[in-house]
């Protein structure tokens, strides 16, 4: 048996260090190093250091018969779309999210759906059988043909899943509770999470069943050992949302068998998660028409158009460094838009606190939202509301020019479907532009054209002012 060696492993990126340090050299995370005994035992399949002579690999031509097995669907449309049309046999999927967000609920519902079609096992390492049964009853799924077990030993689970009557889908809730024998680290540490995931995913590949691993995200927004896990699995789905809000989003951030950035929208109800098939109307449901400081963005999440409202508040600041608070969008991007407004359009908000919020708690990452954010800001600063029934989209360049964004047409179609009649948008670029019936599209070439629609005080000839300042100073 090899000598046990102490290493300090970063719980965020998995890098090993010989000595403890306050900060991980590899990823820059603070206070993330944890003492772990390096893999020591001979028995551990995942970490065995012993090398034996190999048998050689078999090479085959690129062209050949492909086994295209049918995918396992859950019957929950929002879930199946995010997985790219169902689970692929032999694949591994990681479902991450904050504790309490609803992962176990989602996966129990998915398990029940799967069980109607294929053999499905739900293995809980966190809850007792009774607890899971109670939840199933509450969800109205007590009669679903799910095979239930509680276990935390990977060796035990592997023994059952390696059998001939193995299930087609195994759900492991959660990977942080699993442990591999022969490793001295506690469950939940990078070494354990990595070794457990490795055993389970390789077995899934070898035996051809699909495995879903549930992972908790730490406060810093990372699954313990996220990078190690993310490249070990075929798909990574994040289940997110504000716990104060009813709706939840399942987002594919990696998918070898489908599109990434695809989202599924759910609502947490008293009897589990309900699908939201028309999310735009949900995110706009509490909108007060004609309020200043709001703008509706015609966005795109994966393959699906989605309308959301940006809300901005601009108020004079007494602070030497005015406040910038952003919820649901990138704060660096907000700083950029404020800078472009100032430098290219002469609109200065530097003496103001600025708050920006995406209604409903959704997180938007598309640069196409720039123009809608700018509109919300200018509207808030001027007190004049954006024209009614108007959606806005376009990416803003540092020059202030508004760039074309992808899929103009499907954005406009979604907006028309929800009763919007006008759009302020970038030129459609190469796509060319046909707009749906009843929709007037006004093209915005430069941010100035947008700002000019609001009664806001502007410095004259902003670019020249910058040059002047240099000359005198």
Q: How far is the CB of 121 from ligand TYD (least distance, A)?
A: 17
| Interface region with ligand TYD, contact rule CB under 6 A, candidates 44-52, 135-143, 334-342, 344-352 | 135-143
**Closer by beta carbon to ligand TYD, 47 or else 96:** 96
422 forms part of the interface with ligand TYD (CB under 6 A): no
Q: Cα(88)–Cα(103) distance, rounded to whole angstroms?
A: 20
Structure tokens at 421: 């009649």
Q: Which span (143-151, 163-171, 266-274, 398-406) binds ligand TYD, by CB under 6 A?
A: 266-274
- In the bound state with ligand TYD, the residue whose beta carbon lies nearer, of 243 and 434, is 243
Indicate the residue among 104 and 192 with the shorter CB distance to Mg ion: 104
Cβ at position 16, least distance to ligand TYD in Å: 30
Burial of 395 (0-12, 13-18, 19+ CB in 10 A): middle
66-74, 265-273, 315-323, 451-459 -> range binding ligand TYD (CB under 6 A) = 265-273
Q: Which is nearer to ligand TYD, 102 or 279 (CB)?
A: 102
Give me the least distance between CB of 386 and Mg ion, in Å please.
42
Query: Toward Mg ion, which CB reaches closer, 150 or 317?
Result: 150
Minimum separation from the CB atom of position 420 to ligand TYD (A): 33
β-pair partners for 335? none
Q: How many residues does the chain have?
A: 473
Q: What order do you get walking across the sheet with 247-255 strand by strand? A: 147-150, 120-124, 169-173, 210-216, 92-97, 235-240, 247-255, 263-269, 272-275
The Cβ-side half-sphere exposure at 244, using a 13 Å CA radius, reads 3
Quote the strand ranges of 142-285, DSSP E.
147-150, 169-173, 210-216, 235-240, 247-255, 263-269, 272-275
How far apart are the C-alpha atoms of 318 and 30, rounded to whole Å? 33
Question: Rule CB under 6 A: is residue 102 a binding residue for ligand TYD?
Answer: yes
Of 32, 105, 177, 379, the one binding ligand TYD (CB under 6 A) is 105
Nearest to 135 by CA among 107, 113, 115, 116: 107
**Which residues contact Mg ion (rule: CB under 5 A)?**
104
- Smallest distance, ligand TYD to C-beta of residue 232, A: 21
- Provide, rounded to whole angstroms, the least separation between the CB of residue 118 and ligand TYD: 22
Nearest CA to 274 out of 299, 246, 235 is that of 246
Query: Which of 14, 97, 258, 328: binder of ligand TYD (CB under 6 A)?
Result: 97
Say how many residues touch ligand TYD, by CB under 6 A: 15
Burial zone of 305 (CB within 10 Å; 0-12 exposed, 13-18 middle, 19+ buried): buried
The residue whose two tokens read 């929709």 is 439
Binding residues vs ligand TYD (CB under 6 A):
97, 99-105, 135, 138-139, 268, 270-272
């Amino acid at each position: 048996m090899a000598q046990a060696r102490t290493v300090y492993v970063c719980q965020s990126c998995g890098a090993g260090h010989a000595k403890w340090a306050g900060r991980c050299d590899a990823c820059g995370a603070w206070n993330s190093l944890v003492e772990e005994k390096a893999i020591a035992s001979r028995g551990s399949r995942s970490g065995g250091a012993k090398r034996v002579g190999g048998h050689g690999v078999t090479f085959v031509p690129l062209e050949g018969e492909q086994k295209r097995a049918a995918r396992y669907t859950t019957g929950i449309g929002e879930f199946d779309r995010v997985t790219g049309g169902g689970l692929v046999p032999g694949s591994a999927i990681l479902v991450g999210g904050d504790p309490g967000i609803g992962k176990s609920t989602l996966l129990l519902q998915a398990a029940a759906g799967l069980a109607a079609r294929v053999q499905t096992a739900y293995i809980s390492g966190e809850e007792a059988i009774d607890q899971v049964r109670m939840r199933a009853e509450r969800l109205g799924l007590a009669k679903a043909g799910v095979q239930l077990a509680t276990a935390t030993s990977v060796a035990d689970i592997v023994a059952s899943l390696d059998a001939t009557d193995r299930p087609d889908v195994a759900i492991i809730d959660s990977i942080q509770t699993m442990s591999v024998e022969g490793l001295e680290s506690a469950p939940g540490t990078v070494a354990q999470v990595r070794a457990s995931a490795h055993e389970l995913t390789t077995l899934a590949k070898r035996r051809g069943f699909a495995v879903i691993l549930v992972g908790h995200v730490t406060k810093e927004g990372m699954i313990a050992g996220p990078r190690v896990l993310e490249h070990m699995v075929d798909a990574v789905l994040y289940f997110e949302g504000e716990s104060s809000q009813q709706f939840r989003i399942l987002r594919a951030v990696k998918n070898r068998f489908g599109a990434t950035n695809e989202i599924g929208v759910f609502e947490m109800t008293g009897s589990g998660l309900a699908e939201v098939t028309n999310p735009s109307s949900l995110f706009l449901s509490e909108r007060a028409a004609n309020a200043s400081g709001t703008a509706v963005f015609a966005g795109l999440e994966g393959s699906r158009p989605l309308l959301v409202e940006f809300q901005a508040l601009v108020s004079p600041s007494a602070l030497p460094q005015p406040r910038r608070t952003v919820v649901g969008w990138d704060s660096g991007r907000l700083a950029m838009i404020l800078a472009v407004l100032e430098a290219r359009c002469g609109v200065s908000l530097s003496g103001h606190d600025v708050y920006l919020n995406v209604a409903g708690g959704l997180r938007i990452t598309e640069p196409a939202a720039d123009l809608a954010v700018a509109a919300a800001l200018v509207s808030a600063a001027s007190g004049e509301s954006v024209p009614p029934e108007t959606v806005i989209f376009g990416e803003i360049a540092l020059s202030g020019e508004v760039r074309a964004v992808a899929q103009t047409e499907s954005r406009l179609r979604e907006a028309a479907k929800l009763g919007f009649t006008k759009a302020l948008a970038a030129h459609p670029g190469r796509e060319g532009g046909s707009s749906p019936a009843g929709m007037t599209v006004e093209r915005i070439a430069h941010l100035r054209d947008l700002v000019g629609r609001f009664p806001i005080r502007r410095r004259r000839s902003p670019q020249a002012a910058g040059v002047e300042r240099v000359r005198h100073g």
